Structure 1
Amino acid sequence: MLYSAIILGLISSLHCIGMCGPIAMMLPVDHKNPSRKTLQVLTYHLGRLSAYSILGLVFGLLGRGFYLAGMQQQLSIIAGVIMIAIVMVPEKSFARYNFSKPAYKIISKVKSSLGRQFKKRSYKALFATGLLNGFLPCGLVYAALFGALAMQNILYSSAYMFLYGMGTIPLMSTVVFAGGIINPSFRRHFTKLVPYVAVLIGMLFIVRGLGLSIPYISPGNMNLFVGAQPHCR
């Protein structure tokens, strides 16, 4: 299921252009030196990938508890349902209930720290900008995190989020190098694909948890993954 992370990242980057695109365009990079600019942009992306990997690690620890309890199939189904719900429920509904309110102070501090990094031009500041950017609230990141939650071990969970971040790099880099090419009309048309792809990936997680005896997609036995010890009858 790791491949689904790259697909989700690539498609969700269409949404990221609108949310995080302005941050990428404001990066204090050297526009006169293409080589240095490329290295600076990669440093920024490395910060984002680090943030996503850390989040994947945290959710992997949570998912590990479910795995050890023998609930990996149920968890896969639940993760798929939540991924679908996140993209199907209108953003206005989330805004109405303000789910992020308990973490508002933390989010405010992250945004304040992010603003301070724009005043610096060092690689350390660019990495910090990407790192802080990765921790900002985003519905599609939440969807990816539930995918990471359903992985069989902590490293896979972290890898899932790393690959999700990798999927966002092409379009996010395009914003920095040629932001004018991606006009609002182009983005609006392709952003419409985001819910469909997210729903498809969510359905894959549900099918995976149902145990339909489909090789590589939905194993028929109760264990979705190979256990540490052999089970003989």
Structure 2
Amino acid sequence: MLTSALVLGLLGSLHCLGMCGPIAFMLPLDHANQVKKTAQLSIYHFGRLLAYGIIGVLFGLLGKGLSLFGIQQKLSIGIGVLMIVLVLIPAKHLNGHKLLSPIYSIIAKVKYKLGTELKKRTPDTFLTIGFLNGFLPCGLVYMALLGAMAMGNPLEGGLYMMVFGLGTVPLMSLVVYSKGMFSTAIKSRIQKLIPVFVVIIGVLFIVRGLGLGIPYVSPKAAPADTVSATIECHQP
């Protein structure tokens, strides 16, 4: 399943450029020193991965809590179905909902802090910018978080999100060094592939939850431990 996180990050990089691309271009990098520039960009990416990892741990912990009720496989199936449904539902039907108002308020504060940090040139600013960047809203991040929750383990959830983040690093780095390297036609084609791949990941989670006995893909559920109700008394 970690492979799905990596491919989702790689394919979704162009989608992420819509939100993170302008931030990457605005980074106060030292363009005169390529070594220092690369180091600064690496720190920025580390900050993003750190944020993804923390969120992934929280969602993995949530998934573990649900799995304690014996619904690990049902959780995997439910998340797979939810991924597919979210692809089919236009985003305009979800944006602006009153229930999301507290989230929008937090996002506004993150954006304000991010704007403040972009004006600084202190050594720690790249880490802070990357960390804050990781909390900005992104449809693909939400999909990855569903995958992290389906892992049913905080460490695996954090790893899932960090692998997803690693998948976004190559393209996010290339745009800094090579502006305008992708034509509109190429971007459009990749954008069309993203929903298809999200549906494929959703199907994989559904198959995983079915417990078909396929190694690494759909392993059978471990048999529940049984406790004998017979009590034997032994004379001392």
Common fold by TM > 0.5: yes
Q: In the alignment, what sits opposite 2:221?
A: 221
Asked if structure 2 preserves the Cα contact closer than 8 Å seen for 1:5 and 1:160, the reply is yes
Matched residue, 2:200: 200
Give the partner amino acid of 2:5.
Answer: A
> Quick one: distance in 1 between partners of 2:85 and 2:222?
26
Q: CA deviation at 1:137?
A: 1.1
Residue of structure 1 equivalent to 2:143: 143
Unpaired runs of 5+ in structure 2? 228-236
- Partner of 1:123, secondary structure, is coil
Aligned to 1:88: 88
Contact 1:14–1:194 (Cα < 8 Å) also in 2: no
Hey, what does 2:9 align to over in structure 1? 9
The answer to whether the 8 A contact 1:87-1:139 is kept is no
CA offset at residue 100 of structure 1?
Answer: 3.0
Task: Give the alignment's Cα RMSD to 1 decimal.
Answer: 2.0
Structure 1 Cα separation of the partners of residues 96 and 130 of structure 2: 29
Amino acid at match of 1:168: T
Q: Distance in 2 between matches of 1:67 and 1:140?
A: 24
Shift of 1:142: 0.7
Separation in 2, partners of 1:125, 1:48: 13
Corresponding position of 1:182: 182
Bigger radius of gyration among the two: 2
Amino-acid identity (%):
53
Asked if residue 114 in structure 1 is aligned to residue 103 in structure 2, the reply is: no
Q: CA deviation at 1:98?
A: 5.8
Measured after TM superposition, the shift of residue 70 of structure 1 is: 1.4
Using the size of structure 2 for normalisation, the TM-score is 0.90
TM-score (ref. length: structure 1):
0.91
Q: Structure 1 residues 217 and 56, CA, compared in 2 at 3 Å: closer, same or farther? A: same
Match of 2:68 in 1: 68
For residues 124 and 76 of structure 2, what CA distance do their matches in structure 1 show? 38
Letter in 1 for 2:142: Y
Displacement of 1:183 after TM fit? Answer: 3.2
Q: What is the deviation of 1:90?
A: 1.4
Question: Is contact 1:80-1:202 (8 Å) kept?
Answer: yes
Question: Residue deviations 1:91-144, cap 9 Å, x none?
Answer: 221225365322222111100000001111223111111111110111111110
